[in-house]
Amino acid sequence: MRQLVQELLQGNRRALARLISLVENDDKRKAEVLPELYRHTGKAYVIGITGSPGSGKSSLVDRLLESVRRDELTAGVIAVDPSSPFTGGAILGDRIRMQEHALDPGVFIRSMGTRGNLGGLSRATREAIQIFDAFGMDLVMVETVGVGQSEVDIVKYADTTVVVLTPAGGDSVQTIKAGIMEIGDIFVVNKADYPGTERTVAELNAMLDMKGAEDWRAPVLPTVAVRGEGVDRLWEAVLRHRELLESSGRLQAVRRERARQELADQLEHLVKSWIWEKIRARVPYEEMVEKIMARSMDPYSGAYRLLEEIDFPLPQ
Amino acid sequence: MRQLVQELLQGNRRALARLISLVENDDKRKAEVLPELYRHTGKAYVIGITGSPGSGKSSLVDRLLESVRRDELTAGVIAVDPSSPFTGGAILGDRIRMQEHALDPGVFIRSMGTRGNLGGLSRATREAIQIFDAFGMDLVMVETVGVGQSEVDIVKYADTTVVVLTPAGGDSVQTIKAGIMEIGDIFVVNKADYPGTERTVAELNAMLDMKGAEDWRAPVLPTVAVRGEGVDRLWEAVLRHRELLESSGRLQAVRRERARQELADQLEHLVKSWIWEKIRARVPYEEMVEKIMARSMDPYSGAYRLLEEIDFPLPQ
């Protein structure tokens, strides 16, 4: 394991792939690796890209990578699909994408599915970001299907969040989920060669004007990702947003909040793991479940009893 | 508090309202109340109703209440809006709904907003279900806006889940979020007087046929809730689904799983509360955050250190 870390820090792509698999599989050995990596992190800038299925996120990311490479920056991409049980490279589209960039040492694309556990995916995403960061990637792009909780999660890790929409056609943008308007630092209306683009852009702008800008008013940018149209302007907007965050000190504040949250998560994770290991080893948990079913015990008192059994130092 | 419980068990509606406020506000005193109530629960049947904003869920629930009352059953309604910061009766629509049923002792409608904490809302919903249950309501209907995680949550508590859709108009149902197809025991296509209804119903049926039924094939029912059309058939479907769950023993199995989950949640909640209380009282948490920011400490080791400081019995 220690050697794997050394190899990663030396820029070995196989080590990179193996370490990401480790966190994706929630392999126990990651506990030996992640603490070691941590001090090599904190340099990568994280861009979140979220949008519904079919909005063209992947094409957009692919084109964005061209701008990134032109500026001589390197990037890791994590394509998160919470609705997919598939993982690492198992999706055909991702295989193709990975081949395209296979010869470019400055890009590494990796997809991750849920295996039915959203919490686990969120954790694995954070850990994969750290691995890319320690590897030395300048940027990490996290591409996620916008379905509820996963959008909220992306904001937790992304420095700049790009929301990808498509022309609303007959529908009004008003039907866009309220939450989406809150999380975007930049809005993209992709497939801007379809009818309804102008109206969608105008409506989004109106909604954003209503919100009232502080120091950053989220721009609304039409793109045609498959033809690369508008992607340069998107990349410029990302750079401008980054500059603002850095010069205003907000990036530092956000990252402090993130460190605080990660410490809290680790704490709770450690404690919960400890508790459950103890309980599984020693306590008649199923008996307690039966008592609760029979209403001879309530879950509140039941939880107390179980903690007493494992000598957890509860307050009296 | 003890008296409030007594009043609830005697059917006092003011006690009911006050206890629900208690869990909605996450008032500490609920810890005195909920364990006492628990043995009076387990009788109510829980119906979850989810759909996007504007799908007509509320009208549907109102009409369903007529069928429920005709069968001489009583019902509590929890209208959950995860996107709304408003709470208990603060929404105009709910006030009107509440007035309509104000003279009917067999119905009690209550709305709950998030206050920005989805986890807390989920917990409050579960506790409110228990309060209605102990009060003696035959049914509890949980009405929730279908946005991501909240749908998943509803399934955790509902015995029968009704998914409310509307005619897809120009769009194909294919754009329906995959998750939605998994959670519905019954599908309703409301506003069935709009164009596109037949096609939407047919497409849903085709998707459900592809899924392959086990012992229950989810029916797809067109309704026009505002005129009460189709609501009787919906009510019959709910009753049939309930009968199947009961006769097959699946209701029992699901409720056992729910008891197990609730015990686990209580355990983790107790432990986390204990940990954070200790840490807040004794530990230089912010100093640790700064060390992590400076990369002189990693969050994994930091969490260990903090737990050592509060004498948490960690494995060596």
User: Comparing C-alpha atoms, which of B166, B172, B169, B174 is closest to residue B192?
Assistant: B166
Q: What pairing do the DSSP bridges indicate for beta strands B75-81 and A75-81? A: unpaired
A139 Cα to chain B: minimum distance (Å):
19
A contact test, residue of B1, B36, B257, B266 with most A CBs within 10 A = B266
Do A132 and A235 fall into the same domain?
A: yes
Mind listing the pLDDT tens digit for each residue in B90-146?
444 555 565 667 678 899 999 887 655 666 778 889 999 999 999 999 999 999 876
Indicate the residue of A179, A263, A307 with minimum beta-carbon distance to B267.
Answer: A307
User: Comparing C-alpha atoms, which of A115, A147, A122 is closest to residue B146?
Assistant: A147
The answer on pLDDT for B299 being more than 80 is yes
User: Which pLDDT does position B104 carry in this prediction?
Assistant: 87
The answer on pLDDT for B276 being more than 70 is yes
Interval A212-238 mean pLDDT: 93
A192 touches A220 (CB < 8 A): no
Least confident of B24-38, B212-226, B280-294: B280-294
Residue B23 in any domain: the answer is no
Indicate the residue of A255, A267, A299 with minimum beta-carbon distance to B266.
Answer: A299
Interval A97-108 mean pLDDT: 77
Do A214 and A152 fall into the same domain?
A: yes
Could you give phi then psi for residue A189, rounded to 5 degrees? -105, 100
A39 touches B298 (CB < 8 A): yes
Q: What is the CATH number of the domain that holds B120?
A: 3.40.50.300
Residue A17 in any domain: the answer is no
Give A96's contacts (C-beta < 8 A, 6+ positions apart): none
The answer on pLDDT for A288 being more than 60 is yes
User: Which pLDDT does position A82 carry in this prediction?
Assistant: 59
pLDDT band at A70 (very low <50, low <70, confident <90, very high): very high
Chain B residues in contact with A266 by the CB 8 A cut-off are 299-300, 302-303
- Judged on CB neighbours under 10 Å (0-12, 13-18, 19+), B1 is middle
Do A73 and A98 fall into the same domain?
A: yes
Domain end among A215, A248, A281: A248
**Upper half-sphere CA count for residue B307 (Cβ side, 13 Å):** 25
pLDDT band at A89 (very low <50, low <70, confident <90, very high): very low
Mind listing the pLDDT tens digit for each residue in A158-173?
999 999 998 875 455 5
Do B78 and B175 fall into the same domain?
A: yes
Helices (H), chain B: 2-9, 13-24, 30-38, 57-70, 92-100, 118-135, 149-157, 178-183, 197-211, 231-247, 250-282, 285-293, 299-309
The amino acid at B76: G
Tokens of A204: 């989004």
Interval A120-138 mean pLDDT: 92
Chain A residues in contact with B251 by the CB 8 A cut-off are none
Mind listing the pLDDT tens digit for each residue in A178-203?
567 778 999 999 999 998 899 989 98
Could you give phi then psi for residue B163, rounded to 5 degrees? -100, 125
A contact test, residue of B147, B254, B263 with most A CBs within 10 A = B263
Chain B residues in contact with A31 by the CB 8 A cut-off are 300
Q: Which domain holds residue B157?
A: 42-248
Strand arrangement, sheet containing B220-222? B107-113, B75-81, B139-145, B45-51, B160-165, B186-189, B220-222
**Upper half-sphere CA count for residue B82 (Cβ side, 13 Å):** 29
Do A226 and A305 fall into the same domain?
A: no
Interval A74-96 mean pLDDT: 62
User: Which pLDDT does position B177 carry in this prediction?
Assistant: 58
Residue of A nearest to B177 (CA): A147
B253 Cα to chain A: minimum distance (Å):
10
Mind listing the pLDDT tens digit for each residue in B149-178?
555 566 788 999 999 998 875 455 545 555
User: Which pLDDT does position B295 carry in this prediction?
Assistant: 85
CB contact under 8 A, B147 and A303: no
- Judged on CB neighbours under 10 Å (0-12, 13-18, 19+), A225 is buried
Higher-pLDDT residue of B103, A236: A236
Residue B120 in any domain: the answer is yes
> What Å distances lie between residue B300 and A33, A123, B161, B314, CA to CA?
10, 13, 40, 13
Residue of A nearest to B305 (CA): A267
A131 touches A43 (CB < 8 A): no
Least confident of A245-254, A304-313, B250-259: A304-313
The answer on pLDDT for B76 being more than 70 is yes
User: Which pLDDT does position A152 carry in this prediction?
Assistant: 58
Do B214 and B113 fall into the same domain?
A: yes
User: Which pLDDT does position B91 carry in this prediction?
Assistant: 46
Residue A38 in any domain: the answer is no
The answer on pLDDT for A239 being more than 90 is yes
A78 touches A125 (CB < 8 A): yes
Q: Which residues, in sequence order, are bridge partners of residue A111?
A: A79
Residue B19 in any domain: the answer is no
Do A212 and A92 fall into the same domain?
A: yes
The answer on pLDDT for A131 being more than 90 is yes
Tokens of A101: 């960039």
Residue A123 in any domain: the answer is yes
pLDDT band at A13 (very low <50, low <70, confident <90, very high): very high
CB contact under 8 A, A147 and B313: no
**Percent above pLDDT 90 for chain A:** 42
**Size of the A and B interface in Cβ pairs below 8 Å:** 165
CB contact under 8 A, A268 and B275: yes
Give B279's contacts (C-beta < 8 A, 6+ positions apart): A267, B285, B306, B309, B310
The answer on pLDDT for A12 being more than 80 is yes
Interval A80-90 mean pLDDT: 51
A163 touches A184 (CB < 8 A): yes
The answer on pLDDT for A214 being more than 90 is no
Cα A89 to the center of its chain, rounded Å: 17
Least confident of A284-298, B125-139, B218-232: A284-298
Do B215 and B287 fall into the same domain?
A: no
Do A90 and A204 fall into the same domain?
A: yes
Give B19's contacts (C-beta < 8 A, 6+ positions apart): B4, B5, B8, B30, B33, B131
A44 touches A73 (CB < 8 A): no
Residue B26 in any domain: the answer is no
Least confident of A112-121, A280-289, B33-42: A112-121
Three-class DSSP category at B108: strand
Do B224 and B153 fall into the same domain?
A: yes
Domain end among B248, B273, B298: B248
A contact test, residue of B260, B287, B300 with most A CBs within 10 A = B300
Tokens of B154: 């509803």
Q: If you average pLDDT over every residue of chain B, what do you get?
A: 84
Task: Say how far apart CA A222 and CA A234 lie, in whole Å.
Answer: 9
**Upper half-sphere CA count for residue B226 (Cβ side, 13 Å):** 7
* Predicted TM-score of the model (pTM): 0.74
User: Which pLDDT does position B90 carry in this prediction?
Assistant: 40
Residue of A nearest to B301 (CA): A35
Mind listing the pLDDT tens digit for each residue in B16-35?
999 999 998 888 898 889 99
Q: What pairing do the DSSP bridges indicate for beta strands B160-165 and B45-51? A: parallel
E strand or H helix at A205: helix A197-211
The answer on pLDDT for B187 being more than 50 is yes
Q: If you average pLDDT over every residue of chain A, what do you get?
A: 84
Q: How many domains does chain A have?
A: 2
User: Which pLDDT does position B86 carry in this prediction?
Assistant: 42
User: Which pLDDT does position A53 carry in this prediction?
Assistant: 74
User: Which pLDDT does position B82 carry in this prediction?
Assistant: 59
Do A302 and A209 fall into the same domain?
A: no
Q: At what angle do helices B2-9 and B30-38 cross, to 10 degrees?
A: 40
Residue of B nearest to A34 (CA): B300
Token pair 């709305």 in the structure block, residue: B111
Do B190 and B71 fall into the same domain?
A: yes
The answer on pLDDT for A132 being more than 70 is yes
B contact test, residue of A33, A50, A292 with most B CBs within 10 A = A292
The answer on pLDDT for A29 being more than 50 is yes
User: Which pLDDT does position B293 carry in this prediction?
Assistant: 85
User: Which pLDDT does position B144 carry in this prediction?
Assistant: 85
User: Comparing C-alpha atoms, which of B234, B216, B224, B85 is closest to residue B163?
Assistant: B234
E strand or H helix at A285: helix A285-293
CB contact under 8 A, B259 and A170: no
Residue A134 in any domain: the answer is yes
Domain end among B248, B273, B299: B248
- Judged on CB neighbours under 10 Å (0-12, 13-18, 19+), A174 is exposed
Token pair 């019902």 in the structure block, residue: B75
Task: Say how far apart CA B264 and CA B126 lie, in whole Å.
Answer: 14
